[in-house]
Amino acid sequence: MDRIRIVGGNQLNGSIPISGAKNAALPLMIASLLTEETLTLENVPHLADVEQLIRILGNHGADYMVNGRREAQQAGYSRTVKFCAKNIVDTTAPYDLVSKMRASFWVIGPLLARMGEANVSLPGGCAIGTRPVDLFIEGLAALGAQIEIEQGYVRARAPKGLIGARYAFPKVSVGATHVLMMAASLAHGQTILENAAREPEVVNLAECLNAMGAKIHGAGTSTITIDGVTSLSGATHQVIPDRIETGTYAMAVAMTGGDVVLEGARADLLESALEAIAATGAEITPLNTGIRVRRNGAGINPVNISTEPFPGFPTDLQAQFMGLMTMAKGRSHITETIFENRFMHVQELARLGAKISLSGQTAIVDGVDRLKGAPVMATDLRASVSLVIAGLAAEGETIVNRVYHLDRGFERLEQKLSGCGAIIERISS
């Protein structure tokens, strides 16, 4: 199993290209099941989750080409991937596939809307919380789907098609918003989704669906209106830059000091996070080509944050911010309101010398003058990169184990950081 070795102490200077957003690419790829025609996606990141979803879509009959070639294992940034699901050969998403990536459950929406049926395995538990699929099921039922849960599978039927309806999410859910928006695109009549997620990835999907012929209004607000159409066509659409990757590297610069341009990043996608990073003492400058992040070596200011749905501070940057706060000049409070059990990185940061205590949903971080390298274990995707951020500033050598978590969401992380002066390398078993 691969590991990442880091020798801390170097500032970061240079530029880092920001990849396409994983959280935008996955629903866009699933949207290819809604049409017989080819959906071309640009700026698709090369990540383990993307490759896994390609295999899952293939199980349903979708074919693909990467940069004009059939092989998926192509290096490089900004890949163009073409998906064609002309013939859906299977409406079942089996447990052995769904269990490997939770987002694969989302195929239930397009399959049900286009084929009138879907048999999708329940995704099971998750390292950062239960994340139940109740909202997906309730929302599809509101659109007229007949749903049963048998032997661990959600069996959904709509033989005469889905029917537009008004549905208010009991709580904000990005995944459920994706699924209902896709399903409602092919429903009969109008659907109104209230208390919908406002994340940029939802807007990106709506823009793609509209390019395919859907009629969606209000994406990016809490009320989305979808007027169903009889069919969707192919389209060409670009995946937005990854705001979580952007925030992660911005925090890495704030942690180590230095001067880095995050190429292709968009400040409007993560304003709350950038404001919090700026409050720590880093200088954030939006550019025409990206975002410049600088810190001149002065101390890191403690900052309190609480995760919230967009446009609030993203839960997917909480662990990274905690890594940054471990060396702040004072005490900070980090409150997690989105997912339960998302503080598993605390014990691993403590192995590097961090002083963190937990009180319910809040982590209390007392900054220390220095961290010391040590072997640590990644517990999930975002937790793993918080250890990288801390390791970049720690004295001596840090070894991050279980880096397959990193490969799920960060494209060429060690190459991007080493290109800016970090001593970081992958060690293959």
Which residues are part of the catalytic machinery? 126
Asked whether 12 and 391 are in contact (CB, 8 A), the reply is no
From the list 176, 55, 63, 62, the residue with the least C-alpha distance to 109 is 176
Phi and psi of 158, rounded to 5°?
-150, 70
> CA of 206: how far to CAs of 50, 74, 89, 220, 344, in Å?
20, 28, 26, 9, 34
Strands of 423-427's sheet in order across: 375-377, 397-401, 3-7, 423-427
Q: Is 22 annotated as a binding residue?
A: yes
Helices 174-185/22-30 angle, 10° precision: 30
Neighbouring-strand partners of residue 157: 117, 146
Q: Is 69 annotated as a binding residue?
A: no
CA distance 427 to 150: 44
Q: Is 171 annotated as a binding residue?
A: yes
H-type helices in 316-398, by residue range? 318-325, 345-351, 381-393
Distance (Å, rounded) from C-alpha 18 to C-alpha 321?
A: 19
Distance CA 379, CA 31 (A): 30
Confirm whether residue 17 is marked as ligand binding: no
Sole residue written with tokens 């009959």: 61
Is 260 within any annotated ligand binding site? no
376 is an annotated ligand-binding site residue: no
Asked whether residue 173 is marked as a ligand-binding residue, the answer is yes
133 is in an annotated binding site: yes
Q: Is 172 annotated as a binding residue?
A: yes
Which has the closest alpha carbon to 78: 240, 210, 249, 234?
240
Q: Are 251 and 274 in contact (CB under 8 A)?
A: no
Q: How many angstroms separate the CA atoms of 225 and 194, rounded?
A: 9
**Whole-angstrom Cα distance, residue 186 to residue 32?**
13
Is 131 annotated as ligand-binding?
yes
Q: Which residues pair with 293 in a beta bridge?
A: 260, 284
Four-point Cα dihedral 26, 16, 390, 304, nearest 10: -70
Question: Is 23 assigned to a binding site?
Answer: yes
Residue from 410, 412, 402 nearest 1 by CA: 402
Annotated binding residue 174 = yes
Radius of gyration, CA atoms only, the chain: 22
**Known binding-site residue numbers:** 22-23, 102, 131-135, 171-174, 316, 338
- Binding site listing for UDP-N-acetyl-alpha-D-glucosamine: 102, 131-135, 171-174, 316, 338
Residue ranges of the binding site for phosphoenolpyruvate: 22-23
